[in-house]
Chain A
Amino acid sequence: MKSILFALSCLLISVTCSAQSFLTKDGSVEFLSRVPLHSFSGESSSLNGRVSLEEGTVDFYIDLETLKTGIGKRDKDMRKVLETKEFPFAEFVGTLDPAFELQPGDSKPVRVSGVFSMHGIDRSIEVEGSLVYVEAGLELEAAWTIRLEDYDIEPPRLLIMKVDQEQKISIRATLLPE
């Protein structure tokens, strides 16, 4: 009997631990690329992620083959440049700095330190964004900029023009309670 009570207590503790954890499988990602006199964007609505407020952890990833720029040929070229067969994911794993709790209706600007990985390269970055605790869950928005050369990616060419090294990335998701 004592053992059962002990186990239940432990389970309650673990359930409490995940009460401020949130998940998404359909968040959106957008990137903005520039070439001289022209810019284009790509997006995906297959962002997977988990935010745990009590642990202060953030974990997001996307299958790069789900990114679409609106032109099929360009998508194929992009997959070739990113070598998505070998490196299928872009991912970010980080910690909220500092950890905190949110109550329904709260919103808060956040800073996350972590590692962004793409094309087989890991880079430490800091990302700023915002969290809003809405009825459905946690609304997240964040944006940052990467340089392709930092991830050993050769910028593709459009005729004689090269795509700019800097890529603006933004994510948006509503994460549901885990």
Chain B
Amino acid sequence: MKKHLVIFAVLCLTVLEVVAQLPRERSNDRQVVEELFWAPSVIILPSVTQIPKGNVNFSIQHVFGNVSSGISELFGLDASANIRFGLDYGISDQLSVGLGRSRFDKVVDAGFKWNVLQQSEAFPLYASAIGNIAFDTRENGYSTSDRQSYFVGLLLARKVSESLSIQLSPSWAHFNLARDLQVFGGGIESEKNDLFGLGMSGRYALSDQVSLMAEWIPMLGGRSDGSHDVVSVGANLETGGHVFQVFLSTSQWITPQYAMSRTRDSFSDGEVSFGFTVHRVFGIQ
């Protein structure tokens, strides 16, 4: 009798286990660390932040004239501004392509960003490959080849804490045509065909809506005559759907290879321009 009771108890426990509440199991969908940066670009350089699959990011970038021009030029706002319109599309959650058009030199650029590795509990950082090809579309008699320039880079980024993200961007820029420019005073300044830079970027979140960002692209090896490193500082404002970026930058050029080659303002001399970017994401699926 005792034996029967034991068997009955064991089987009852088995049945109870069958009918108990389902064990709660996490989906593996979202192990990836997100929101290292709030927009697909830091300021001039792209960030590892990707456009999700089936989404379109529309961006409007403005960089005005030099702030040091003073009140008579309304601190650069009266000057000729560089403007870029950009559209980026997420082919997958790891791969996006983009198209843009800048006012300066009427540059049209097409590029891609591929997040090869993503930060997660299993891996400590993001590694993304980026590249673009740009065309100078002015009517200036240049050959098709001379109009072309390229930018290739690797983005290595890590979200160090909920507030702080950092990114290192070894980059290569190539211009098929290196121009020699006559400058005031009679000298000649030469641009480089190939430029190498090591972009360093950071973002520090002050709240869920506001973060600060900084970017520096020191050149490795030679640089175009008269050019300076790109240095930019700014702030992000996240409004749920839009990301507004306001910044001060030594570069009026927005396409990275042009910024690396043609930034003529020096941060240490206080030569910076005011700019802003608006990002808006749309779902089209």
Segment of A102-110, A144-152, A153-161 engaged in the interface with chain B: A153-161
Inter-subunit contact B240/A159 (CB<8 Å): yes
Inter-subunit contact B283/A69 (CB<8 Å): yes
> Counting CB contacts under 8 A, is B281 at the interface?
yes
Chain B residues within an 8 Å CB radius of A28: none
Contact of B282 among A18, A46, A71, A88 (CB under 8 A): A71
Inter-subunit contact A159/B242 (CB<8 Å): yes
Docked complex: A30-80 residues within 8 A CB-CB of B: 46, 48-50, 52, 55, 57, 59, 61, 63, 65-66, 69-77, 79-80
Q: Would A76 and B35 be within 8 Å (CB), given that A21-B19, A63-B29 are in contact?
A: yes
Chain B residues within an 8 Å CB radius of A63: 25-27, 29
Inter-subunit contact A18/B29 (CB<8 Å): no
> Counting CB contacts under 8 A, is B124 at the interface?
no
Chain B residues within an 8 Å CB radius of A49: 22
Q: How many residues of A contact B (CB 8 A)?
A: 42
Inter-subunit contact A55/B25 (CB<8 Å): no
Inter-subunit contact B19/A17 (CB<8 Å): yes
CA distance A40 to B94 in the complex (A): 25
> Counting CB contacts under 8 A, is B186 at the interface?
no
Chain A residues within an 8 Å CB radius of B8: 6, 10
Chain B residues within an 8 Å CB radius of A77: 240
CA distance A158 to B240 in the complex (A): 5
Inter-subunit contact B241/A74 (CB<8 Å): yes
Inter-subunit contact A71/B52 (CB<8 Å): yes
Contact of A65 among B22, B25, B30 (CB under 8 A): B30
Query: In terms of DSSP, what is the predominant structure of the interface of chain B?
Result: loop
Query: In terms of DSSP, what is the predominant structure of the interface of chain A?
Result: mixed
Contact of B281 among A6, A48, A73, A156 (CB under 8 A): A73
Chain A residues within an 8 Å CB radius of B15: 13-14, 17-18
Inter-subunit contact B14/A14 (CB<8 Å): yes
Contact of B19 among A18, A89, A159 (CB under 8 A): A18
Chain B residues within an 8 Å CB radius of A99: none
CA distance A171 to B35 in the complex (A): 30
> Counting CB contacts under 8 A, is B55 at the interface?
yes
> Counting CB contacts under 8 A, is A121 at the interface?
no
Contact of B11 among A7, A48, A55 (CB under 8 A): A7
Chain A residues within an 8 Å CB radius of B285: 70
> Counting CB contacts under 8 A, is A93 at the interface?
yes
Inter-subunit contact B11/A14 (CB<8 Å): yes
Nearest CB on A from B17, distance (A): 10
Give A contacts to B, CB under 8 Å: 3, 6-7, 10-11, 13-14, 17-18, 21, 46, 48-50, 52, 55, 57, 59, 61, 63, 65-66, 69-77, 79-80, 88-89, 91, 93, 156-159, 178
Give B contacts to A, CB under 8 Å: 3-4, 7-8, 11-12, 14-15, 18-19, 21-22, 24-27, 29-30, 34-35, 51-55, 90, 93, 208, 239-242, 281-283, 285
Contact sample, A vs B, 26 pairs, CB 8 Å cutoff: A6-B4, A7-B7, A10-B7, A11-B11, A13-B15, A14-B11, A14-B18, A17-B18, A17-B19, A18-B15, A46-B27, A46-B29, A55-B19, A63-B29, A65-B29, A70-B55, A71-B282, A71-B283, A72-B93, A74-B281, A75-B52, A77-B240, A91-B24, A158-B241, A159-B239, A159-B240
4 more A-B residue pairs beyond the given contacts A17-B18, A157-B239, with a C-beta to C-beta distance below 8 A:
A10-B7, A70-B283, A71-B55, A77-B240
